[in-house]
Structures are given as C-alpha cells and as structure tokens.
Structure 1
Amino acid sequence: MVLKRTNVYAEDTDLALIKEAAARLGVAEAEIIREGIHRIALAHRAWDEPFVSDEETFDLGGPVEQDEIRTAVTEGHAERERRNRGRAA
C-alpha cells in the first residue's frame, strides 16, 4: 500500500479524541486517522454488485432478535471479504 501525504483540517475536540484513542490503543494518531478515512470512504463507495446476491440469503427460520440479525450480517460480510481478498491475490 502506497501512502500519500495530505492536509486535513479538524476540530480540536476531534483531534483530542484521536489522541486519546491512539494512546489507549498504543498506535500512532495517524493510524487512527487513516482508519477513519478508510471507513468513511467505504461507507460512501458505490458498489459494482449487490451486497447480497440472489444465492446468498439469510434463512433464520422465523422471528429473530436484533443480535441474531447483527450476527448474520456480520458473518455474511466477513465471508464476502474473505472471497474478495482471494480474488485480489
């Protein structure tokens, strides 16, 4: 991965939160900022294909709880990420 330098203006309160998180996690502040940039970029990405295809359905067998839905979506996303990493290699 090639990193490029850029300048970003941020509020003091956000920078303080980043500093606290970096200290708590034992990582550089820049790492927290890069992760934030990556997450927001993915959140606004226009995907070329649907998140779930017609073959990928979630049959949970009836009424489900919120945590069951969250688990199913998380596992489905993790599986798709594993497949995507396999294609990129």
Structure 2
Amino acid sequence: MAWTMRLPDDEERALNAQAEAEGRAKHEITRDAVRAYLLRHRRWDTALLTDDETFDLGGPISKADIHDAMNKPA
C-alpha cells in the first residue's frame, strides 16, 4: 500500500540525513520503524502458556527468584 507521510521540517531533515548515512531509502527506514512499533505493541488473543505450563512463586518475583528457578533441575 502506498501512502503519504508528512513530517515537520526538522524530522524530515533528520530522516534524510539518517537515510543518507545508512545508504538506505527513507521508505525503508519508515517501514522498519512501523514494523518495530507494531511488534512492540502486539497483543495476543490467547495466552502463550497455560496455567499448567507455569509455576507460582507465591508473590513478587525477584532477580534471585528468577535465577533460582532457571537453575533448578527439571
């Protein structure tokens, strides 16, 4: 799909400079930015794990709890 994007002058200059520095087209950079945005804000319709596939540590989880859980024999 083709569409037009309007940017303030300073952002347009920055995008032009970035594209030139990377040797890429502006549309490549903006396409990558849109993809990254969509992935960051992706929402799943179903849980990735079921309750049976997880475990409860009984409260807030600390870094030490995660370390212990990751190093616990299966």
- Distance between the aligned counterparts of 1:42 and 1:60, measured in 2? 28
- Residue in 2 aligned with 1:78? none
The number of residues matched between the two structures is 58
Secondary structure at 1:27 match in 2: coil
Moved over 4 A (4+): 54-58
Output the amino acid matched with 1:9. Answer: R
Equivalent in 32, 36, 45 of residue 33 of structure 2: 36
The structural deviation recorded for 1:56 is 7.5
User: In 1, Cα distance between the equivalents of 2:66 and 2:46?
Assistant: 21
2:27 is the counterpart of 1:27:
no
Percent identity, please.
Answer: 25
| Bigger CA radius of gyration | 2
Q: Secondary structure at the match of 2:30?
A: helix
Q: 2:15 aligns with which of 15, 18, 28?
A: 18
In structure 2, do the counterparts of structure 1 residues 59 and 25 end up closer, same or farther at CA, with 3 Å as the change threshold?
Answer: same
Q: Relative to total residues, which structure has the larger helix share, 1 or 2?
A: 1
Identify unmatched segments of 5+ residues in structure 1: 62-89
Q: Deviations over 1:10-63 (max 9, x none)?
A: 11111112111111111111101111111222233222244x6465799324xx
Match in the other structure for 2:67: 60
CA distance in 2, matches of 1:29, 1:60: 43
